Amino acid sequence: MEKSEEFWTASVEEMQSGYIFDEVTEIFSCLICGQTYEQGVIYPFGELWCEAKKAMKAHIHEQHGSMFDYLISLDKKWNGLSDHQKELLHYFKQGKSDKEIVNSLEGGSASTIRNHRFKLREKEKQAKAFLSIMNLLEKKEEEFIPYHKGATMVDDRYATTEQEREKILSTYFKDGLDGKLSNFPSKEKRKLVVLREIMNRFDQGKTYTEKEVNEQLKQAHDDFATIRRYLIEYGFMDRSKDCTEYWVNN
């Protein structure tokens, strides 16, 4: 059975846990079957009610067993393990000694089992080296979006890559960048990306009245007053002391 793209692009840690978490959509997705749980929602699980992350863990345990058993049961073309190696790994997982494994196999010797342990450790080292090589081969220099000139305090909130920006904008501007926001983000990094995009609706060097600013912002979100306040707060726009004139902060 073919695995999904999400399964193969998951990190080692995510593959071990059996799920991924999308920070933009705030959704947990099962790597095995695609079941999803949304952060902030409480789900019934038997006689219990669980938050999303716990519900996902319960789902994996109930529907798929342990990730160790699932991964080791994959075809050799996926995990590279022979049937004999899989059997030995099951014994190693159970904590059996070399002598106990020999008795369970009804043949062989303790030295043979030790040799298998050694070869599997070597396989692990090779896998780590190969994974590092492939990561370096595909790794590109991350291009971070430059922060705007009027930024009041530059910190980790501004460390956003172009890929992250595109994902955030497609999530919140479902009808296109000229349309309305589906909702206004609460997370700081996403908020900054959205506000920066909204600023493209204003011309540099032009002075706006408060009414003109409001009319522009209404096209992005019904709560234009909150958006206007954030544009000032984060230094995207500036205004006169009497709040009658607004302009793009250069």
Q: Tens of pLDDT along the chain (250 residues)?
A: 567 778 888 889 999 999 999 887 889 999 999 999 999 999 998 888 999 999 999 999 999 999 999 999 999 999 999 999 999 999 999 999 999 999 998 778 999 999 999 999 999 999 999 988 887 776 655 565 665 555 555 455 666 788 888 889 999 998 899 999 988 988 888 898 999 999 999 999 999 999 999 999 999 999 999 999 999 998 899 999 999 999 998 7
Q: Supply the pLDDT for residue 52.
A: 95
User: Are the C-beta atoms of 192 and 234 separated by less than 8 Å?
Assistant: yes
Question: Which residues form the domain of 93?
Answer: 81-139
pLDDT of residue 157: 60
> 188 lies in a domain?
yes
| Domain-embedded: residue 145 | no
Is 43 among the domain residues?
A: yes
pLDDT given at position 138: 67
**Domain boundary, last residue among 75, 104, 129:** 75
Is position 24 within any domain?
A: yes
pLDDT value of position 107: 77
Cβ 51 vs Cβ 37: under 8 Å: no
- pLDDT value, residue 141: 53
Q: Which pLDDT score is estimated for 215?
A: 95
Predicted local distance difference test score (pLDDT) of residue 25? 84
What's the pLDDT score for residue 151?
57
149 domain residue, yes or no: no
- pLDDT in the model for residue 156: 59
Question: Does 144 fall in a domain?
Answer: no
Boundary-marking domain end, from 109, 139, 169: 139
Residue 143 pLDDT:
62
CB 122 within 8 A of CB 115: no
pTM summary value: 0.60
SS3 at position 184: coil
Q: How many distinct structural domains can be found in the chain?
A: 3
**68 in the same domain as 88:** no
Do 28 and 20 contact (CB within 8 A), yes or no? yes
Could you say which of 75, 100, 127 is where a domain stops? 75
Phi (first) and psi of residue 34, to 5 degrees: 90, 0
Residues 6+ apart with CB under 8 A from 237: 150, 199, 202, 213, 228, 231, 246, 247, 248, 249
Largest Cα–Cα separation, the chain: 90
Distance CA 196, CA 216 (A): 14
Residue 66 lies in a domain: yes
